[in-house]
Structure 1
């Protein structure tokens, strides 16, 4: 398919201009691309109308076109459909041409330009591969533009331009423009567009849980963009709060938490977007939280009283057990002290100064005096004073 075919169609369909209109006409092709790959084509002839006579002549001319509109549209649709069938065979994509229309108008501040416009919808005009859309494979036979021709291709803001070949004369916001004279190569003009839309999927590990149970929140940002900021909004019975997260390298995110208040909770994840990609929000997730067993016990006065009583009873038992054990350990240690004193006396032949026993055992004076007193009362030793010293005698057991 080539441009000269399109120009020929317009020249064939548009009736000869009145001889009174002397201005040179211009051809303008505008292709409006949609997200689904379809494209609306507008083929127009623009005629300058600098004088009132030109405007009157054009007005009379449009009346003639209106009288012949049905026949003109029939011829136009037949020719375009033949071109679309050829393009479909070349690309291997099923295509159709529908919604044909023709209208005339006068534009400009002072109504100085007359326009005759034909339009139609070309379905499946673009090739879509995942997130990429490619335009231009229908022009496999090349594309030619004359001196006063203009080609405009516009696309929605949800797409961004990656490649335009050959470089356009103007690259505006969501629109590129080529002006004649130009002779495009096979498959040109060509454009590659990327889908800027994103999506967020939110996963909740539970739809119902208790206040003392853990909830795992995870999700996926598509396309898989890593290191992007997202916001988790959590709304509970007493209000809402936000948690800032960063997506992992594969675009996923994960979070575990507990919800401390019974009732219905709602979760929403949002992505603010970037210079390249648009923002998005997930669907609303809901979780019902019931009161946990521990929380229920703590909130019940009767159960709380039982717990306090049990704690106090356990404390008393622990104190009593500790003291009993301490006394047992003390008695065991004391018996060991007696044996140590007896061993020292036997080693000394059954008698020894009290100061010597203190040196051998390492006991303090007070502790040794207490031990010797108890041993003397039990009949194990006998003490006698000699001068300023006390002599301790080990008594033989009966």
Structure 2
């Protein structure tokens, strides 16, 4: 087992790596051949992206992409470098540093961690070349019921091992599929946290909580094979019976069999007027309640659902009623809660949504 490095040493290693791209640290024998013959300088990465995809089991899939600008004469030389990068098990410069970081994080968190599923590849075009390193960091996040918490794996014995981004680097943290952001240190873009260099991260700053509440029952949407697929025999029989009944009534009117039927208005003129008035009133009421939900904003639709359900609902039911994704509902409700339009209360493993000042002491849904 290799000895554990101190947090300060690891930080120095990462600072060196963040400041120096993989090709720039290569030895003379590793450099691009064409650059040795033409006298052009060793290529320097134009930008580096650290993409972090959190998994629902707490693992994290890292993808580190170094992008290089290439002249037309450098394309083939970079392709040779890419082949060497992809085939060399120990040639990925970032990998040793992240293994050291993993050891530090495992010591601080007390969780057993590992770097697995390592993949190295390259992409090259006429003007651009990329070296891509991918690996899975196990137990990077913690799973707490329906929440996934990211943050403590960025810690080291001396603070944090991921303390800075240079001007040409960015960090992208993506949530697990089906999860929404419950809390984050900065604004979220399409569910992702994006940090652009140059910037410094204080210990504990990179902390995110994702929530994955789902409705109790979910039926995946399927495209019917025919116009009658998915319709039960009972419903189909009812439709046929209704068609026959309408045909029979139409035949009776056409043949004059309804002449002896009693008047719908009843036995007096007053009664007829009363019935007509009641029908008109009912029609007006129905028209006033008939609101096209497509014309409502997302926030107004949530408020309308709350009004229809006594001013309070579980978040999972809102997901079910609207048909929206859980991530969209979670972010929308968090925004409405911050604006004071609703209250969001955690009860057990679920969120209860209500209007402000709504009495929820007797909520038993």
- Structure 2 counterparts to residues 303-322 of structure 1, below 5 A: none
1:29 to 2:50 alignment: yes
Alpha-carbon distance in 1 for matches of 2:325, 2:63: 29
Partner of 1:194: 211
The 1:196–1:250 alpha-carbon spacing in structure 2 relative to 1, beyond 3 Å, is: closer
Q: Which moved more, 1:12-21 or 1:155-164?
A: 12-21
- Structure 2 counterparts to residues 200-211 of structure 1, below 5 A: 200=217
Q: Which has the higher strand share?
A: 1
SS of corresponding position for 2:107: helix
Q: Give how far 1:32 is off.
A: 1.0
Alpha-carbon distance in 2 for matches of 1:54, 1:196: 51
Partner of 1:388: none
Q: Give how far 1:118 is off.
A: 1.4
SS of corresponding position for 2:133: strand
Alpha-carbon distance in 1 for matches of 2:232, 2:17: 65
Alpha-carbon distance in 1 for matches of 2:60, 2:309: 38
1:42 to 2:63 alignment: yes
Alpha-carbon distance in 1 for matches of 2:323, 2:49: 35
Verify the 8 A CA contact 2:170 2:195 in the aligned structure 1: yes
- Structure 2 counterparts to residues 259-274 of structure 1, below 5 A: 271-273=320-322
Partner of 1:238: 234
Q: Deviations over 1:175-227 (max 9, x none)?
A: 221111111010232222211422239xxxxxxxxxxxxxxxxxxxxxxxxxx
Alpha-carbon distance in 1 for matches of 2:313, 2:196: 43
The 1:162–1:3 alpha-carbon spacing in structure 2 relative to 1, beyond 3 Å, is: farther
Q: Give how far 1:246 is off.
A: 6.3
- Structure 2 counterparts to residues 1-398 of structure 1, below 5 A: 5-6=13-14, 8=16, 14=23, 15=26, 17-18=31-32, 19=35, 20=40, 24-25=44-45, 26-49=47-70, 51-66=71-86, 69-72=88-91, 79-106=97-124, 111-140=126-155, 141-142=159-160, 143-165=163-185, 167=186, 171-200=188-217, 238-239=234-235, 271-273=320-322, 275=324, 277=326
The 1:119–1:4 alpha-carbon spacing in structure 2 relative to 1, beyond 3 Å, is: farther
Alpha-carbon distance in 2 for matches of 1:96, 1:71: 17
Q: Give how far 1:56 is off.
A: 3.1
The 1:4–1:120 alpha-carbon spacing in structure 2 relative to 1, beyond 3 Å, is: farther
Q: More relative contact order in 1 or in 2 (CA 8 Å, sep 6+)?
A: 2
**RMSD of Structure 2 on Structure 1 (CA):** 3.8
Alpha-carbon distance in 1 for matches of 2:51, 2:116: 17
**Higher Cα Rg: structure 1 or 2?**
1
Alpha-carbon distance in 2 for matches of 1:247, 1:192: 30
Verify the 8 A CA contact 1:161 1:193 in the aligned structure 2: yes
Verify the 8 A CA contact 2:56 2:177 in the aligned structure 1: no
TM-score (norm 2): 0.50
Q: Give the aligned length.
A: 218
SS of corresponding position for 2:66: strand
Q: Give how far 1:12 is off.
A: 8.5
Alpha-carbon distance in 2 for matches of 1:6, 1:41: 16
Q: Which has the higher helix share?
A: 2
SS of corresponding position for 1:177: strand
Q: Give how far 1:160 is off.
A: 1.2
The 1:278–1:63 alpha-carbon spacing in structure 2 relative to 1, beyond 3 Å, is: closer
Q: Give how far 1:162 is off.
A: 2.7
- Structure 1, gaps ≥5 residues long: 202-234, 253-269, 280-398
